[in-house]
């Protein structure tokens, strides 16, 4: 027997492993310069093209033009794309054998989830913050005290989207299947969150199609994050007078609940499914 006692892994060891995995996500991201460039320019291009093209044809959001209305949706799109690219590395790591090496470590599985989610969320948050800074510089939004809660809410949404990406990526065997599921699920989730067009008002004059669409958009938890982002960016506008606008406490509660629930589901899948450990 060795003179040196073999110590059991501690919580500190787990946090250290999670930090190393998160750091690895950052290193991989910044080593891919084309990915760094595309992460900022693609949402900026979408915002400029859609905002300019639909500016004259948009109505129904109070005092906002389409470039202002679409701004929270653009931030959501940045987080969405980052969640897709950050969590797809789970499949790549499994094929390369790296994930199997991590899973047999004595620290357990939770550092894998924390490392991937925190690493991807941090990348998404920084990209959204850089884009928001550019928007402040050009004067589309005025700088005020609300910039702090905006950044906090973006962090919550980033955690929720990356955890959702982990839910899809963990049991997936191919990157092609992952992209198909993410595009089928996340893109409609973003489109039906009030990011691209207002959530319709449901009253006696609404058609059955508006009732169905409006109901789906109200059930979508991302809708509440978009409503609160828009309210924080333009605090002088009473959005409740022009459409669907739940209270701030409700929007924050739904956003935080979305992050917590998706993270817990991802953790449950990682603990309960062992067959994915041997997918190569």
The predicted structure's pLDDT at residue 1: 43
Q: How far from the centroid of its chain's Cα atoms is residue 151's Cα?
A: 13
**Mean per-residue pLDDT over the chain, rounded:** 78
Q: How confident is the model at residue 131 (pLDDT cuts 50, 70, 90)?
A: confident
The predicted structure's pLDDT at residue 3: 43
Axis crossing angle, helix 71-87 with helix 147-169, rounded to the nearest 10: 40
The 10s digit of each residue's pLDDT in 251-261 is 999 999 999 99
| 276 contact partners, CB below 8 Å, separation of at least 6 | 94, 170, 171
pLDDT at 276 over 60: no
The predicted structure's pLDDT at residue 5: 45
What DSSP assignment string belongs to 234-266?
-TTS-GGGTS----HHHHHHHHHHHHHHHHHHH
Please tell me the least confidently modeled range out of 47-56, 131-140, 264-273.
Answer: 47-56
Determine how many CB atoms are found less than 10 A away from the CB of residue 38.
14
Which one has a higher pLDDT value, 185 or 53?
Answer: 185
> What is the average per-residue pLDDT within 259-276?
78
pLDDT at 14 over 70: no
Query: What CA–CA distance (Å, rounded) separates 92 from 203?
Result: 49
Which one has a higher pLDDT value, 11 or 233?
Answer: 233
pLDDT at 15 over 80: no
The predicted structure's pLDDT at residue 103: 64
Query: What CA–CA distance (Å, rounded) separates 181 from 169?
Result: 9
Q: How confident is the model at residue 220 (pLDDT cuts 50, 70, 90)?
A: very high
Query: What CA–CA distance (Å, rounded) separates 206 from 215?
Result: 12
pLDDT at 87 over 90: no
> What is the average per-residue pLDDT within 5-28?
69
> What is the average per-residue pLDDT within 140-147?
80
Please tell me the least confidently modeled range out of 96-100, 169-173, 235-239.
Answer: 96-100
The predicted structure's pLDDT at residue 280: 44
> What is the average per-residue pLDDT within 255-278?
79
pLDDT at 228 over 90: yes
pLDDT at 154 over 90: yes
Task: Name the H helices within the chain.
Answer: 11-31, 33-53, 66-69, 71-87, 89-96, 98-103, 110-138, 147-169, 175-190, 208-219, 221-233, 248-272
Q: Are 195 and 73 in contact (CB under 8 A)?
A: yes
């Amino acid at each position: 027997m060795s003179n040196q006692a073999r110590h059991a892994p501690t919580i500190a060891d787990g946090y250290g492993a999670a930090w190393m995995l998160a750091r690895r996500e950052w290193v991989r991201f910044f080593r891919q310069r084309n990915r760094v460039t595309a992460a900022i320019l693609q949402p900026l291009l979408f915002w400029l093209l859609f905002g300019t093209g639909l500016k004259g044809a948009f109505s129904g959001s109070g005092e906002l033009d389409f470039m202002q209305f679409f701004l929270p949706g653009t931030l959501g799109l940045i987080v969405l794309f980052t969640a897709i690219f950050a969590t797809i590395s789970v499949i790549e790591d499994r094929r390369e054998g790296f994930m199997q090496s991590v899973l047999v470590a004595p620290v357990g599985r939770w550092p894998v989830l924390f490392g991937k989610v925190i690493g991807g969320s941090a990348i998404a948050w920084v990209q959204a913050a850089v884009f928001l800074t550019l928007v402040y510089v050009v004067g589309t939004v005025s700088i005020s005290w609300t910039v702090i809660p905006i950044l906090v809410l973006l962090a919550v949404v980033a955690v929720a989207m990356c955890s959702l990406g982990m839910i899809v990526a963990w049991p997936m065997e191919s990157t092609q299947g992952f992209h198909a599921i993410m595009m089928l699920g996340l893109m409609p989730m973003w489109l039906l969150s009030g990011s691209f067009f207002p959530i319709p008002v449901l009253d006696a004059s609404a058609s059955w199609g508006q009732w169905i669409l409006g109901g789906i958009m109200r059930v979508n938890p991302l809708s509440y994050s978009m409503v609160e982002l828009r309210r924080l960016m333009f605090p002088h506008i009473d959005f409740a007078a022009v459409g669907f606008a739940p209270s701030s406490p409700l929007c924050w509660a739904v956003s935080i609940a979305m992050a917590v629930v998706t993270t817990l589901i991802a953790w449950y899948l990682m603990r309960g499914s062992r067959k994915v450990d041997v997918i190569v």
